[in-house]
Amino acid sequence: MPKPHTFPILYDDTLQISTSKLKEWKYLNAEQIKSGSLTWSRNGNQTASISIRVNTYEEQSFIELDYKYRGEPRNYKVKLVTKPSNLGNGFVWYFLCPQTKKRCRKLYLVGGYFLHREAFNGCMYETQTQSKKYRELDKTLGAYFRTDDLYEQLYSKHFKKTYAGKPTRKYLRIMEQIERAESVSYLDLERALMS
């Protein structure tokens, strides 16, 4: 009898809350209480929405999440902590996971709660489920198929190409991937797909 298939939950497909997005949307300004809602959509259709309230005014900052999961109401707080930036100017915001007590910059919704990724068993990133051959193919031709995404990142509204007069590492990495994609010939593509 064959082994039954196990299809892990993919972190890439779950709802996520990140400190970088909250900061971008001005939720993590010092000494403020700000409420709002976060929405997720796929192909232009809204798939989920939650209400949040971020309190950075009190000594122990927190984000309060209020939503329904499968018809059941959920309301809880996740502590926010800061750590000095390694650049020496300012600080970096982190969530303090209520279950693992670990600092993290992203929370994932699995099983009804937004938690640190190590709070869940059997979850994986999409790349962990790919075959060795697919990963090798992605390494050689992946940039070719992601060229549109690379250009979209390059010309996005807040993308920084330089910092202090020097090109940023992210800019250099994207340009390297674009050059690699443009150097792929039709014969290389055909040969890789036929093997």
Residue 27 structure tokens:
């939720």
Tens digits of per-residue pLDDT, 47-103?
999 999 999 987 899 999 999 999 999 999 999 999 998 888 889 999 999 999 999
pLDDT surpassing 70 at residue 179: yes
Rounded distance, CA 55 to CA 35, Å? Answer: 9
Out of 80-89, 130-139, 151-160, which region has the weakest mean confidence (pLDDT)?
A: 130-139
Per-position b or e across 71-93, b if 16+ CB within 10 A of its CB: eeeeeeebebebeeeeeeeeebb
Q: What value does the mean pLDDT take over residues 154-159?
A: 88
Instruction: Tell me the pTM.
Output: 0.73
Q: Residue 160: left (phi > 0), alpha (psi -120 to 50), or beta?
A: beta
Instruction: Provide the CB-side half-sphere exposure for 23 (13 A, CA).
Output: 13
Given a cut of 70, whether residue 2 has pLDDT beyond it is: no
Mean of pLDDT over the chain: 88
User: Domain spans of the chain?
Assistant: 9-121, 130-194
Strands 123-124 and 9-10: parallel
pLDDT beyond 60 at 5: no
- Inform me whether the pLDDT recorded for 122 exceeds 90: no
Q: Quick one: average pLDDT of 9-25?
A: 92
Q: What is the pLDDT of residue 3?
A: 59
For 24-33, 49-58, 119-128, 129-138, which range has the lowest pLDDT when averaged over its residues? 129-138
Whether 1 has a pLDDT exceeding 60, the answer reads: no
The strand pairing partners of 35, in sequence order, are 53
